[in-house]
Structures are given as C-alpha cells and as structure tokens.
A and B are shown apart, each in its own frame.
Chain A
Amino acid sequence: MAGIQEVYDLVVKGKSKLIGAAVQEALDAGCDAAEILNKGMIGAMDEVGEKFKNGEIFVPEMLIAAKAMKKGVEVLKPHLASGDQGALGKVIIGTVAGDLHDIGKNLVAMMMESTGFEVIDLGVDVPKEKFVETYQANPDTKIICCSALLTTTMPSLKDTVALLNSSDFRSNIKVMVGGAPITQAFADEIGADAYTEDAASAAQKAKELAS
C-alpha cells in the first residue's frame, strides 16, 4: 500500500501542502478510506506523539504534523463512513477557571483528535459549571480532561473535579487531569481517574479508558 505509506510519511513530516494530493492518489488507487485514516494518519500521529514524548521532536514539528493530518482528513471526509471519524467517542477538554495557558491543553486535544476521539475544546479559563453543562449537552461524552498550569490554579482544578465527582453522571465518564504542577499524587487526592505527563501519553491513556 504505497499510497498509505506516502500519506503516513507526509503526516510525520508535516507536509500540509502535499498531503491532499497524496490522499486523493491513495483513494484513486483503491485504498480504503478508513485504512488511510487509521494506518496512514492516526498511525503517523502515534509516531509523532512518541517522538515528542521522547524529546526527538518539538512543538513546531508536532503542530505541523497535526495540521497536515487535518488537511488530509478534509480530502478524506466525503469518503469516510459516519462512524470512522471520532470513532473512539467524545472528549471534553479545557483549562480550568483562572488559568489562561493553552499550549499543553491544545497539544493534548490535537493528539486525542488524531487518535480518533471527537474533541470538544472549551478553551481556557473555563468555569467548572461549563464542563458540566457541556456534558449535559453531550451525554455521550466518555472523558472530561481538565488542565491547570499554575500552582495558583490547582485549587480551581480541585474544585472542577469535585463538581464533576458530585454530579449524577459521574459513573458514565472518566476524568483526566494534567498540567505542569500536577502530579499523580495530586490527581489521586482530588479524585481524578487519570493523570499523564504529556500529550502523547494522555491520548494513549484516553484510548485505554474509553475502550
């Protein structure tokens, strides 16, 4: 399947200007759309995530890879069955109230999307009630991810998780937390289901939790 390998390579290298043509060529050559998505794109992003985690590549390389994947998906979209994209389910993600940091949260969102989740990104400085409201509007959500990058917003993360833990839908979701000052011990203390150190591990963990 040379076509799929080409798509894979272009995603890894972040060639967003070339990917559309490569995806079209793969389709024209008879490659299955779901296979192009799973093996060509999601597979490539797994490699990108792993390299980022190991310090072999940096934020720019990860961003251009994610952008290439997005461009490729645009071409692929009309050929995909409705369940192919976001097949792993919905994830709600946001940085907690009082905290404006977004790079780490965005990288996690990108990796989750690339892994096969449908991501609802609430942005930064998200009031705890907004996570609950968003779940209520999307009751098929499997995971809620909350991020805090500051020691001063750790209490806000704690409050957010406490509100989620007291909600009547708690048993239907998994709560993941992350951010620079967060540790496994803190995640355990506040009653989150999972903590991971980086974006690639977060996507892998989400996959485990959603399955």
Chain B
Amino acid sequence: MLTKRQNMLEVIKGGNPDRFVKQYEALAFVMNTPYALQYPLMPEGPGAPAVKCAWGYTNAWPEGMPGAFPMHDPEHLVCPDITEWRKYVKAPDINYTAEDWKPCQEAVAAVDRNEYLVAAFVAPGVFEMCHYLCEIQTTMMNFYEEPEAMHELIDYITDWELKWAEQICTYMKPDVIFHHDDWGTQKSTFISVDMFREFYLESYKKIYGYYHDHGVQLVVHHNDSFSATLVPSMIEMGIDVWQGCMSVNDLPKLVKEYGKDITFMGGIDNGKVDRADWTQEMIAEATDQLCRDCGKLYFIPCETQGLNYTSFPEVYGAIDEEIEKMTKEMF
C-alpha cells in the first residue's frame, strides 16, 4: 500500500495510485511561521474579536461564518484612493532570521515526510490582497479607471510575495505551497479572462516560478469558484493542483482535457453538503458519481473549503467515509 504522500503524487503524475486521495489527508500543514506568529491572519475563530492583520486591514469573523472577512467601513479601509496607494499601503517587514524560523523548522522536522507532504500556507493571494486593501467593488472599477495604479500595486504585492517565498524556501523547505486566491463566484469569474491575464498572469508566473525553482514540489492553489475558463492560465502560471474547484466547472471534462497538466482537487461543494441538515445520502450524491466520472487520475475528491475542516465538523469525516466507499468500488 502506498503512503498518503506517494498515493497523492501518483494521482498527480498520472501513475498508479492504489486508492482515491481522501481530501487533504496527504498534506501536513505547518502553520507556525514567524510571520504567522508575529501577525494574526484572522480572528481565532467565529465570534472572536476582529484583528488587525500585517498589511493593515482588519479581519472580522462573525459567529456562524465559515471564514473571516476584511472590514471596509471608512474607519478600517486601508487604501481609499488607488492613485495614492503608496501613501496608504505598507508591506509588512519579513526579514526573519534563522532563529525566528526555529519553531517552524522543528514542526517541519516532526513530520513523517514518507507519509506526508509538508505544506506551507499562504493567504490572501494577490487578487484578494488588492480588494482586501481597496474594497472589492472599488478594485473592480479600478481595473478600468486606474489600470496603471493597479499594475503598480500588484507589482508591489508580487515583490513582497517573492520575498516571502524566499524566506519560506530558505528556512522552511516545504514540499507544497498551499496558496489561496479566490477568482470568482459559483457562476463566473470575477473578471474576464483577458483582464485576469493582463493583471495577474505575470505576477503569478513569477511567484509560482520562484517556488518551483527553489525546491517546492507542488503548488496547490485554492480558488473555490467557477474558474474553468482560467485553467489554461493556471497551467501557464505553474499551478499543479487546483483545490476548491466547484462542481459547476464540469470537472470530468476538465480532467479529460487538462489532467496531464493540472490536477483537480474538489468537486464536493460546501454549499451542498456542509450544512445543518446534512445527511450521508446528500454527501453520497455529491461524491459518488463525481468519482466515477472524474476517474482515478488527476482528480482528488475534496470539499471545496480552503483548509481541512468543515463548518459542521462531522461533515468532513462523512466525506472521507464516502470517498473510502468509492475506493472500494473503483480500485
């Protein structure tokens, strides 16, 4: 029997996996980077007080929400005018030393690398950072109204991501980068393919290119939305696994068309199964046929949430159970 790590890598390279990968089972997330220890990413949990994050935006996580949200009222908005972004946006200092990285290195060393892939977590992504700083609707209009300033801001964020990538690759040496950036809703991408490529393709080519060139085996990108039209761009920017791909993307078709270049990890929509009235039948409905249609290679059945948890905690294990059932049927 293959280890979890070996099995996931077999799926991705189109080899001989001996079972379905159960969601995030092969990824060992190591979260205690010096950056995470210095700055909060989000409140500790739903209902906890809002926190100011490294880039100056404030994240709130109200009770009952699956994740945190940046606050954009006049008191909390970081950049009210994109043309003056330099005045408002200050990238956090990340010149950490080897000593600062010690707790993280110890956590990495404790992971059984034969069984697991060590994963570093990076969020928010470049697109998300733009709208966390400037508010989403304004950001959307800025693409048309102030494109030069948007390019400058994106370059600034990209440079910071590259510095952070250097730190991660120098001190942490993970196998996987698990990088968030949501690019759409359940029906559509937020922006057109052309606009996406104009503003974000080069940025991500640099960032993901750096990780690949410095020892990272897999770039797993979380984006829980409809983004089928962006798949060629995802491949071009160096994404190995698209996590969070919702069922609206017609995953069987994508696996067939692009599987050799990118693996699809998702298909089990949170909206359908992660709910108060969930049942095993509901999960079976979202999982079983999906596994049959997508097949054994280039596909990892997974909830679309961007980490290994569900809002209703028992749902996560119930999805695992369903995937095990499909392994028995198909392997």
Which residues of A have CB within 8 Å of B62?
Answer: 98, 100, 125
What's the Cα separation between A200 and B136 when bound, in Å? 20
Say yes or no: B191 contacts A60, CB within 8 Å: yes
A98 pairs with B140, CB closer than 8 A: no
Q: Is residue B237 contacting chain A, with contact meaning CB distance below 8 A?
A: no
Q: Which residue of A lies closest to B69 (CB)?
A: A100
Q: Are the CB atoms of A58 and B189 closer together than 8 Å? A: yes
Q: Tell me whether B63 is interfacial, beta carbon within 8 Å.
A: yes
- Cα of A153 to Cα of B143 in the assembled complex, Å: 32
Identify which of B188, B270, B274 contacts A58 (C-beta below 8 A).
Answer: B188
Contact B276 A151 (CB under 8 A): yes
Give A180 to B224 CA distance when docked, in angstroms. 13
Would A152 and B311 count as touching, CB distance under 8 A? yes
Name which residue of chain A comes closest to B131, CB basis: A103
Q: Is A88 an interface residue (CB 8 A)?
A: no
Which residues in window 56-92 of A have CB below 8 A to B? 57-61, 63-64, 67
Q: Are A103 and B137 neighbours in the complex by a CB distance under 8 Å?
A: yes
A63 engages B271 (CB within 8 Å)? no
How many chain B residues touch A (CB < 8 A): the figure is 29
The answer to the question of A94 belonging to the interface, with a C-beta cut-off of 8 Å to chain B, is no
For A14, A63, A151, A198, the residue with the greatest tally of chain B CB atoms inside 10 Å of its CB is A151
The closest CB in chain A to the CB of B144 belongs to A64
User: What residues of A have a CB within 8 angstroms of the CB of B187 in the complex?
Assistant: 197-198
Q: Which residues of B contact A59 (CB under 8 A)?
A: 137, 140, 190-191
The answer on a CB contact under 8 Å between A150 and B188 is no
Residue of A nearest to B70 (CB): A100
> Contacts of A181 on B, CB cut-off 8 Å?
271, 275
A106 within 8 A of B: yes
Name 12 extra pairs, CB < 8 A, besides A98-B64, A152-B311: A59-B137, A59-B140, A60-B143, A60-B191, A61-B144, A63-B137, A150-B64, A150-B65, A151-B276, A152-B65, A180-B186, A197-B187
* Interchain Cβ contacts under 8 Å between A and B, 29 examples: A14-B144, A58-B188, A58-B192, A58-B195, A59-B191, A60-B140, A60-B141, A60-B144, A60-B190, A60-B195, A63-B137, A63-B141, A64-B144, A98-B63, A100-B60, A103-B185, A125-B62, A150-B65, A151-B271, A151-B311, A152-B66, A152-B275, A152-B311, A155-B276, A156-B64, A180-B186, A180-B271, A181-B271, A181-B275
- Please report A residues at the B interface, Cβ cutoff 8 Å: 14, 55, 57-61, 63-64, 67, 98-100, 103-104, 106, 125, 150-156, 180-181, 197-198
